[in-house]
Amino acid sequence: MTDDNDDGEVSVKFNSYQAGSGNAGDVLVPGDDETTIDEVNERTFGGFGGSNAGDDILEATDYDMLTVEGHVNLAGNSTAEVEDEDDVGTLSLEERSTENVQVWRAPASTYNDDIDDLEDDETAPVYDLIEAGNITQTDEAAIDDVNDDIIIQVEASGLEGVFTDGSGNLDTSSYGSASGAEDTGAVFQHALEDDDPGANVDTSGTDIDALSSGDYKVIYDEANDTHFVAIDGNALESAFSIEDEDEYAANFTVYDQNSDLVDDDDDSEVANDSVQFVDADATLNNDDDISLQAASGQQIFGTTNVAPSSEVTIRLRSQSSSSPFLLQPETAVTENGTFTATADLSDRSPGTNFTAQARIDGSNVGDDIDGTLVEGEVATVSISDQESDGSEVVVDNVQLSAGGFIVIHDDSLLEGEVAGSVVGSSEYLEEGSHEDITITLDEPMDEDFTAVAMPHLDTNGNEAYDFPGADDPYTSGDGPVTDSANVTVTSEEEPTATEEPTETETEPPETEEQTEETTTMDSGTDEAETTEASGPGFTAAIALIALVAAALLAVRRDN
């Protein structure tokens, strides 16, 4: 071994996956450009030597390692006396594991714009997209007119040594060809399996290699024992013939028979997650006709099932030859699947009819909606069926061109009682769009009821709800703007007089939010620990100081 720049240090990489293969040149390679390995010899112990890579992996334990100056033959090296404690280091190997699989999705352009040209270990852009909300965890993804891109995250340690080239650098180009069924001799398989393929159809799954190499990218985060398989959504739908409501499991398996990556006494390690594919859809204004003012700042609200952060264009096309226009305000899908675009209609004429259409990734998505430009103030409101303890209701979304209130009416409104049907009202809301508005009812309801949400103006400008007498409702067409929903009133059962609550110490159940936090990897751990680590890979370093009596640190990464 030669210290090429004479700085007193040399570095090597040690591949513990290849350590029993008998090919010493694959086990030990230079760790930097300033180190040259002149010759590597391997001494055979027990069954080591001449095996296939991965067959005779070193046991997970600590190994003493000795560094000496000059050439020492194998026999002499095995009996050499330690004269200085700095001559000895420790190689610490820990058990590897297969932990988890998580499916994520991203807007249709993400793979080709941000991922496909990344280096094999260039993980920072992936974490940046997660942090920005462009990549989100999901159990549903859109196909057909819009194909969400798919990212499968695999948490499994000790695989880096399988994917290293002759220089000890990470190389995932063979990931697809290395994946396969157990009877092919593959050590692992990454496959997508249709959960309901139909009668007389093999359900063993389709290997990731069914995709062309340019349609997916494998990115390794060695610091977190994680890799991401990012897939172009268009290619995935075509290669796997995915249809509406098909549910697929993303399976990652490490076999127990074809390598020592899994202990011989254990079964193959399997981790998976499922995703259902649905035809892309979008709905404008709850599928109702739209009334907009002939003014600036007009908002069009919608919902969609495509990936959050997808860009949405609302195409507004005039149907009147006397006031022609084509406007295309743009916006983006929020985390909860809503979007709101703002248009300037101040130069348009009241009374003009138009159509509104949502466009995503260059395609029309959902039905077009008829609309009319009006004089005066306009509003929209949306409320969904929900459960409540009877003291409050939640309104999904409201848009108010001039600010105001949301008033909640009960079933008696449907029988003609207006003022007497009011059961609650919101605080004053500024003009614009508001989401998830919680409204406390005047009196708690003790049985199920129909909640009718009705936006009201603040006609006297005092920011207090004063109807009747002031603060009339927003209107559209023949009457007030409203939306209704069924509210199911629930109550917690209290202990009877003869029953005393028992106190037990239990761990709180893990919530979905907590689960997502644990599966979202923290890019802040990119600096690898340099004392010990787990899993086969080129991650050990041997440092020789001035080539004499050097301290040796053989490192294997944690996790």
Same domain, 15 and 153: no
Same domain, 114 and 175: yes
Same domain, 123 and 66: no
- The answer to the question of residue 357 being in a domain is yes
Which of 340, 374, 408 is the last residue in one of the domains?
374
CB contact set of 453 (below 8 Å; sequence gap of 6+): 381, 382, 383, 395, 398, 406, 407, 408, 482, 483, 484, 485
Which pLDDT band, with edges at 50, 70 and 90, does 20 fall under?
A: low
For residue 494, what are its two tokens? 């209290």
- The answer to the question of residue 518 being in a domain is no
Same domain, 200 and 273: yes
- The answer to the question of residue 547 being in a domain is no
Task: Say if residue 505's pLDDT is above 50.
Answer: no
CB contact set of 294 (below 8 Å; sequence gap of 6+): 345, 346, 348, 349, 350, 352, 373, 374, 375
Same domain, 136 and 197: yes
Q: How far apart are alpha carbons 238 and 230 in whole angstroms?
A: 16
Same domain, 143 and 242: yes
How does pLDDT run across 136-190, given as a tens digit for each residue? 999 999 999 999 999 999 999 888 888 887 777 888 888 988 888 888 888 899 9
Task: Say if residue 52's pLDDT is above 70.
Answer: no
For residue 131, what are its two tokens? 């942090």
CA-wise closest residue to 326 among 304, 297, 348 = 348
Same domain, 109 and 70: no
pLDDT above 70: percentage of residues in the chain: 77
Task: Say if residue 457's pLDDT is above 70.
Answer: yes
CA distances from 349 to 322, 353, 372 (A): 9, 10, 10
Task: Say if residue 542's pLDDT is above 60.
Answer: no
CA-wise closest residue to 134 among 112, 106, 113 = 106
pLDDT at 317: 96
Which residues are bridge partners to 502 per DSSP? none
447 neighbors 388 (Cβ within 8 angstroms): no
For residue 294, what are its two tokens? 């002939």
Which pLDDT band, with edges at 50, 70 and 90, does 554 fall under?
A: very low
Give the CATH number for residue 439: 2.60.40
Q: How far apart are alpha carbons 497 and 7 in whole angstroms?
A: 82
Please compute Rg for the chain using Cα positions. 32
- The answer to the question of residue 528 being in a domain is no
Same domain, 119 and 230: yes
Q: How far apart are alpha carbons 366 and 282 in whole angstroms?
A: 5
397 neighbors 406 (Cβ within 8 angstroms): no
> 182 — phi, psi (to 5°)?
-65, -35
Same domain, 128 and 221: yes
CB contact set of 401 (below 8 Å; sequence gap of 6+): 293, 295, 297, 298, 377, 378, 379, 431
pLDDT at 527: 40
Same domain, 431 and 467: yes
- DSSP class of residue 303? E
How does pLDDT run across 70-95, given as a tens digit for each residue? 666 555 455 556 667 777 788 888 88
CA-wise closest residue to 375 among 292, 474, 285, 470 = 292
pLDDT at 58: 76
Which of 321, 347, 374 is the last residue in one of the domains?
374
- The answer to the question of residue 548 being in a domain is no
CA-wise closest residue to 533 among 187, 214, 157 = 157
Q: Which range of residues forms the domain containing residue 223? A: 98-279
- The answer to the question of residue 76 being in a domain is yes
CA distances from 376 to 289, 325, 463, 477 (A): 17, 21, 19, 12
Same domain, 257 and 308: no
Name the residue type at position 118.
Answer: L
- The answer to the question of residue 180 being in a domain is yes
Name the residue type at position 259.
Answer: S
Domain tally for the chain? 4
Name the residue type at position 161.
Answer: G
Which pLDDT band, with edges at 50, 70 and 90, does 69 fall under?
A: low
Give the CATH number for residue 298: 2.60.40.1220
CA-wise closest residue to 455 among 478, 488, 429 = 429
Per-position DSSP letters for 338-365, written without gaps between them: EEEEEE--TTSPTT-EEEEEEEETTEE-
pLDDT at 394: 96
pLDDT at 22: 60
For residue 288, what are its two tokens? 């109702």
Question: Mean pLDDT over all residues of the chain?
Answer: 81
Which of 342, 374, 406 is the last residue in one of the domains?
374
- The answer to the question of residue 520 being in a domain is no
Q: How far apart are alpha carbons 499 and 129 in whole angstroms?
A: 53
424 neighbors 395 (Cβ within 8 angstroms): no
Same domain, 155 and 182: yes
How does pLDDT run across 364-422, given as a tens digit for each residue? 999 999 999 988 888 989 999 999 999 999 999 998 988 999 999 988 776 666 667 89
ω into 468 cis (within 30 of 0): yes
pLDDT at 492: 61
